[in-house]
Amino acid sequence: MAQSAVPAARAPVRVGVVGVGVMGANHARVLADLPGATLAGIADPDAAQAEKVAGLLGCTAVPDVGALIALGVDAVVVAAPTHLHHAVALAAIAAGKHVLVEKPIAPTVAEAEDIVAAAKAAGVTLMVGHVERFNPAVAAIKAAIRGEEILSIGITRVGPFPPRMSNVGVVIDLAVHDIDLICHFTGSHIAEVQPQVKAAVADREDIALLQFRTGNGVLAHINTNWLTPFKARTVHVATRNKYVTGDLLTRQVTECFDYKPDGSYSMRHLPVAYAEPLRVELSRFLEAIRTGEAPDVTGEDGVSAIATAIRCLPGAEPAPLRIRAAG
């Protein structure tokens, strides 16, 4: 078995990216300019696209993950289509490489658990790219509700139909973000699911109204669709003492508090840091590689998110889940 190598404290981590579509190209762009990282190469079977991105970023383009590993990378970002995550991630892990897999970690629970088990056996860092966790507005909301008794969470994630989407519906493409955020905010897992989904104008579900109860008793719902002509990303959290709202696009976060018997209350806008979520995510990935500590979004978190999303799909039977996200 190949063993993972942790780069020396001052040596940059050599990272390669597999898949340079929209998201993969963004990973490559950030890595090319990220302190502590060297973009060693990119891999994509579309030679024209690979050469274009490589030319812009000054790195090597290769056709597949095997050729990328041969470049001597320390870590691999898997940004290929979801149905390829399992094969690509296992190849990188078998070679002893640290891996960041874009969300969702895999199309099935079984494949997701395979990836987690392989990473544990190989002793490599495995992180899942739920990039919304690193949105500064999410961090501000999380800070505002810390120590509070959370009563309910409502999340809206809507927008127009994405032309690039062909093999999944809104639950896997969009709602999986917010399933992960609910677990992140509550420090718990999804215990009960009540989904309502519909394919209105697409081949797969393009409307989903999802209701949940977490293991620690929080009620939550997600409203997501591909029918809204504009993008909206909002979070509402009710606690025993306050009500926090956040716009994940404008990154404005507001809390209402100090409720009075006459119905009045106080309100304030909370400070939100400026940061590119993807840059923060990749920096945390490098940090986890160097320290050997658990990454911010673990493989278990990724398994939990895709397992819950699958439970929301029409006709899906809940898969037995052997791995649970840490509370």
pLDDT of residue 162: 84
Ranges assigned E (strand) in 8-138? 13-18, 37-43, 60-62, 75-78, 98-102, 126-129
Contacts of 38 (CB under 8 A, 6+ apart): 12, 13, 14, 15
Model pLDDT, residue 168? 85
Residue 40 has a pLDDT of 97
Sites in the chain below the pLDDT cut of 50: 1, 319-327
Residue 167 has what pLDDT?
Answer: 77
CA distance 182 to 193: 13
Express each pLDDT in 127-161 by its tens digit. Answer: 999 999 999 999 999 999 999 999 999 999 999 99
pLDDT attached to residue 6: 58
Domain locations in the chain as residue ranges: 13-130+278-298, 133-276
How far apart are alpha carbons 208 and 211 in whole angstroms? Answer: 10
At 222 the pLDDT is 98
For residue 290 the two structure tokens come to: 């160097």
DSSP annotation string for 265-298: -EEEEEP-----HHHHHHHHHHHHHHH-PPPSS-
Per residue in 89-101, pLDDT (tens digit) is 999 999 999 999 9
Predicted confidence at residue 321, as pLDDT, reads 46
Residue type, 294: A
Task: Tell me the CA distances in angstroms from 191 to 41, 150, 304, one per residue in order.
Answer: 41, 16, 11
User: Is residue 5 within 8 Å of 286, Cβ to Cβ?
Assistant: no
Rounded to whole angstroms, the Cα distance separating 246 from 235 reads 5
The highest-level CATH class for domain 133-276 is alpha beta
What CATH number labels 13-130+278-298?
3.40.50.720
What is the reported pLDDT for 163? 76
pLDDT in the model for residue 125: 98
* pTM of the predicted structure, to 2 decimals: 0.91
pLDDT confidence of residue 266: 97
